[in-house]
């Protein structure tokens, strides 16, 4: 072994420096060859090849991934990661999309993006060890409050007037559902009545993606102006309230089936169309075609599901200690609806038919209060919940700000409120 002083002589030092210089040059050349600059990375992303596949009937995750050239091992790994990290176990036809990213057209898939909604996507990439990593990305929404107003013309329905006012179909359905707690659309809609709707539109990168929620609605009904405002309470829950902060959503709906025409009103003295003699008509009849879904007018528990000669197939729901509703002449019952079943408001419990004493397909709808039949169109229905003292104070302040915004939009209907 040489001594240290011999190793560090001039000749050896020169050789060592030259060797180090050569080694550093080789490392630099390697790094330049393998490491891409930010400009090169941007160029590579621009040259990426992306393909989007809409899931159709019969498609499975395995089928779509294999078609893109992934191995069976990768398919199993991707499926496990999606289940564990994104709670995705199946793909939905005509709803979900998959995006496949390659560095170029001939390269293997380097990134998979599962898009279950416009506002959420799951990105999967394969790391250096060959394992698939997964992350969920929430898409930021640009939400705007949009104002529309309309007027009922002679011969109009509310739906037609709403369409003419430029209100999207889905928003109209939501508004109809809200107003149905207070209004009879068959008798309360008249020419000359005006209505306004404030609702959300959601944008992403300047492009409208979908509509959001109804924020406020006003309708000049026969029994007075109906107003509803959407408000988030201090506990995080939301609801609709009138101008004074009282609950606007009632525990029962007056008209279970949207846009159904009333063919027979509640009456203590009506000549029965089948039996031929006069007796009380303890409900309201709504004309609808056979097979039309019948939603529960309110949340409750099924206490009867049976058949009798008068009602045909019928369902009876108890909603609380005071109220029950009955739905008669069904063509069939909804699957899973049995005595003892708990149902939510709007859940389908059966389908319109003409069973029992009936001259044609329709829904016979009854409300029973404390054991006595009442007129569904006029009975005062209880609200689900009112605001507490502190929440009501905040609501009033919020409502004033919203009303001021609505006034500005009335003057400039093409504008919107940035939320």
Indicate whether 415 pLDDT > 70.
yes
pLDDT at res. 44: 44
Higher pLDDT, 322 or 27: 322
Averaged over 243-247, what is the pLDDT? 91
Indicate whether 278 pLDDT > 90.
no
- Compute the mean pLDDT over every residue in the chain, rounded to the nearest whole number: 85
Q: In angstroms, rounded to a whole number, what is the distance separating the alpha carbons of residues 62 and 132?
A: 15
Taking a C-beta distance cutoff of 8 angstroms, is the pair 377, 336 a contact?
no
pLDDT at res. 375: 92
Indicate whether 34 pLDDT > 70.
no
pLDDT at res. 130: 86
Do the bridges between strand 278-281 and strand 348-352 make them parallel or antiparallel, or are there none, so unpaired? unpaired
pLDDT at res. 274: 46
Higher pLDDT, 213 or 23: 213
Averaged over 404-412, what is the pLDDT? 93
Lowest mean pLDDT among 34-48, 64-78, 294-308: 34-48
User: Distance of alpha carbon 198 from its chain centroid, rounded?
Assistant: 17
- The encoded tokens of residue 191 equal 């020419």
Lowest mean pLDDT among 80-89, 211-220, 249-258: 249-258
Q: What angle do CA 175, 293, 153 make, to 5 degrees?
A: 40
Q: Find the length of the chain.
A: 419
Where does the pLDDT of residue 111 fall: very low under 50, low under 70, confident under 90, or very high at 90 and above? very high
Higher pLDDT, 132 or 269: 132
Q: In angstroms, rounded to a whole number, what is the distance separating the alpha carbons of residues 247 and 181?
A: 11
CB atoms within 10 A of CB 140: 9
Averaged over 17-39, what is the pLDDT? 46
What residue has token string 């507490």?
388
Max mean pLDDT among 219-233, 278-292, 372-386 falls in 219-233
Indicate whether 327 pLDDT > 80.
yes
pLDDT above 70: percentage of residues in the chain: 85
Indicate whether 87 pLDDT > 80.
yes
Which run of H or E residues covers position 397?
A: helix 389-411
Where does the pLDDT of residue 19 fall: very low under 50, low under 70, confident under 90, or very high at 90 and above? low
pLDDT at res. 47: 61
pLDDT at res. 18: 53
Taking a C-beta distance cutoff of 8 angstroms, is the pair 132, 74 a contact?
yes
pLDDT above 90: percentage of residues in the chain: 61
What values do phi and psi take at 99, rounded to 5? -115, 130
Indicate whether 290 pLDDT > 90.
yes
Q: What angle do CA 283, 289, 291 make, to 5 degrees?
A: 95
Indicate whether 173 pLDDT > 70.
yes
């Amino acid at each position: 072994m040489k001594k240290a002083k011999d190793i560090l002589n001039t000749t050896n030092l020169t050789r060592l420096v030259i060797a180090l210089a050569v080694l550093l040059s080789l490392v630099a050349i390697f790094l330049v060859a393998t490491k891409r600059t930010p400009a090169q990375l941007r160029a590579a992303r621009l040259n990426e090849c992306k393909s989007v596949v809409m899931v159709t009937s019969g498609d499975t995750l395995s089928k779509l991934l294999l078609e893109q050239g992934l191995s069976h091992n990768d398919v199993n790994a991707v499926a496990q990661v999606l289940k564990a990290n994104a709670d995705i176990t199946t793909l939905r036809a005509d709803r979900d999309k998959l995006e496949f990213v390659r560095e170029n057209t001939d390269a293997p898939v380097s990134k998979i993006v599962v898009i279950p909604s416009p506002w959420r996507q799951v990105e999967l990439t394969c790391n250096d060890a060959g394992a698939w990593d997964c992350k969920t990305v929430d898409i930021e929404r640009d939400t705007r409050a949009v104002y529309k107003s309309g007027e009922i013309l002679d011969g109009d329905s509310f739906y037609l007037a709403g369409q003419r006012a430029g209100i999207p179909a889905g928003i109209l359905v939501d508004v109809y559902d809200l107003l149905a707690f207070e209004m009879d659309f068959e008798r309360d809609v008249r020419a000359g009545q005006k209505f306004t709707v404030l609702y959300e539109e959601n944008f992403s990168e300047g492009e409208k993606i979908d509509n959001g929620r109804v924020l406020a609605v006003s309708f000049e009904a026969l029994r007075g102006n109906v107003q509803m405002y959407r408000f988030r309470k201090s506990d995080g829950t939301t609801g609709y309230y009138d101008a004074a902060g009282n609950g606007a959503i009632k525990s029962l709906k007056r008209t279970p089936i949207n846009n159904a025409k009333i063919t027979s009103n509640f009456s203590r003295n009506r000549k029965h169309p089948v039996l031929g003699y006069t007796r009380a008509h303890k409900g309201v009849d709504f004309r609808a075609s056979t097979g039309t879904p019948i939603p529960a007018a309110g949340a409750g528990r099924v206490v009867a599901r049976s058949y009798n000669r008068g009602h045909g197939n019928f369902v009876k729901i108890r909603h609380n200690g005071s109220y029950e509703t009955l739905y008669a002449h069904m063509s069939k019952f909804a699957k899973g609806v049995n005595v003892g079943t708990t149902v939510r408001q709007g859940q389908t419990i059966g389908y319109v038919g003409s069973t029992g004493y009936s001259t044609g397909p329709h829904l016979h709808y009854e409300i029973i209060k404390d054991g006595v039949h009442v007129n569904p169109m006029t009975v005062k229905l209880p609200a689900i919940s009112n605001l507490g003292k502190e929440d009501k104070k905040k609501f009033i302040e919020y409502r004033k700000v919203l009303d001021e915004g609505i006034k500005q939009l009335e003057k400039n209907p093409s504008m919107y409120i940035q939320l």
